[in-house]
Amino acid sequence: MHKPDVLHPGDGVTRQTLLSEYFPAIAGTAGDTPVFILDSKSPGGCMLVLGGTHGDETAGYLAAVTLLENAKVQTGRVILIPRANASGFTHNVAQEAHPQRIVISTPHGARSFTVGARYTNPIHQWPDPQVYTHVASGQSLSGPETRNLNRSYPGRAEGTFTERIAFAITELIRKEKVDLAIDLHEAAPEYPVVNTIVAHERAMDLAAMVNMNLQAMDIPIGMEASPKNFHGLSHREWGDATSVLAILMESTSPGQGRLRGRTDAALITQGKDRFYVLASERHRLSVPYPESGWPLEMRVGRHVAAVNEFAKNLGDFAPDKTITMTGVPEYQAMLAQGVGAFLK
């Protein structure tokens, strides 16, 4: 699992670098990760999209990969980090029975993608404290959360391995003058914050517009305000530490919750689970769970469509921040053809 998946940047990528460009102290560590820049060279806004904050939230990772391999930018810039916590992809979660990888067929052959873990690998950051204190706020969480990238923002230059990755991402947002940053996740069907957009208060109007447009595209999705007193999260700390409009999105993950049945690659890709169907019938879940499940193309397609809507609508709120992209797969096409049809 220490060998990264091979990705195939599309023609829209104008520069590839590493996260350590923005914070050299992580160069040569397992926390460094590729950063892809799609620069139209035409003035406009800048959007950052993260996949792989949590390596076991496959739709977030593959949505960023789909953009990497397909999107072209005509106005403004788009920056993609598909494997935000690269260390999280070098192991998977103990006792969850997750597969180490999934295989997706494409018109050009099979592609393999790692199913990683929520946390930084303990061989890169050890031992965990009894209690993890988020230094900037004093907030206390359970010890292993010290290895959760999405509890480590805005990060610390002199902090832990994970806090340094967080710091590097915050530095990228500052140095690239990112206007809009989107962190792509998945969550279990029984978790209250699922199938939703979480927005920092300065991003709320934009998120509301995107939410309405997604409903009109037959993508029902919720919207929540980033809690002001819950620290370390991207949607809170990016917005507080910088001028960026900070967004986090959650799709419905079949493979993470406590009610699921057999856990294998098919659960990650096809998303069918009869126990979740039963739980849904008993109104125990935060989302509907049909027999047809939550297949990967639906979860990736929702994230990709939402990112595209955010880019399209940013210019309505700030005309000098317009971003225009082409080549982004349409939601209905992805539902019909699957994720693999859009991978190189």
**CA proximity to 53, closest of 217, 242, 201, 250:** 250
Nearer to Zn ion, 58 or 125 (CB): 58
In which order are the strands placed within the sheet that holds 180-187?
Answer: 15-18, 34-39, 77-81, 46-50, 180-187, 245-252, 196-199, 222-225
Contact (Cβ atoms closer than 8 angstroms) between residue 82 and residue 7: yes
Q: Which is nearer to Zn ion, 185 or 272 (CB)?
A: 185
Output 154 or 340, the one with its CB closest to Zn ion.
154
Place of tokens 């946390």: 119
The residue with tokens 């592609």 is 111
Of 54 and 321, CB closest to Zn ion: 54
Distance CA 259, CA 278 (A): 10
Cβ closest to Zn ion, residue 185 vs residue 260: 185
Tokens of 130: 């009894």
Q: How far is the CB of 321 from Zn ion (least distance, A)?
A: 27
CA-based end-to-end distance of the chain? 22
* Closest CB to Zn ion among residues 54, 236: 54
Q: How far apart are CA 21 and CA 219, in angstroms?
A: 37
User: CB of residue 256 vs Zn ion: minimum separation in angstroms?
Assistant: 9
- Which residues here bind Zn ion, judged by CB under 5 A? 54, 57, 185
- The helix/strand/coil state of 106 is strand
Give me the least distance between CB of 118 and Zn ion, in Å please. Answer: 7
Structure tokens at 127: 């031992």
25: Cβ–Cβ under 8 A, 6 or more apart, which residues? Answer: 157, 164
Q: Which is nearer to Zn ion, 54 or 151 (CB)?
A: 54
Give me the helices (H) in 44-195, please. Answer: 58-70, 161-175
Residue 251 C-beta: closest distance to Zn ion, Å: 10
Measured distance CA(195)–CA(21) in Å, rounded: 34
Question: CB of 51: closest distance to Zn ion in angstroms?
Answer: 11
Closest distance between Zn ion and the C-beta of residue 74, in Å?
Answer: 31
Q: What angle do CA 61, 333, 37 make, to 5 degrees?
A: 40
Residue nearest to Zn ion (CB): 185
Taking the C-alpha atoms of residue 104 and residue 89, their distance in angstroms, rounded to an integer, is 17
Looking at the Cβ atoms of 44 and 88, the one nearer to Zn ion is 88
Residue 114 near residue 5 (C-beta atoms within 8 A): yes
Nearer to Zn ion, 32 or 57 (CB): 57
Name the DSSP letter for residue 6.
Answer: P
Helix, strand and coil content of the chain, in percent to the nearest 5, comes to 35, 20, 45
Minimum distance from CB of 57 to Zn ion (Å)? 5
**Least Å distance between CB 105 and Zn ion?**
27
CB 115 → Zn ion: shortest distance, Å?
13
Distance of alpha carbon 146 from alpha carbon 129, whole angstroms: 8
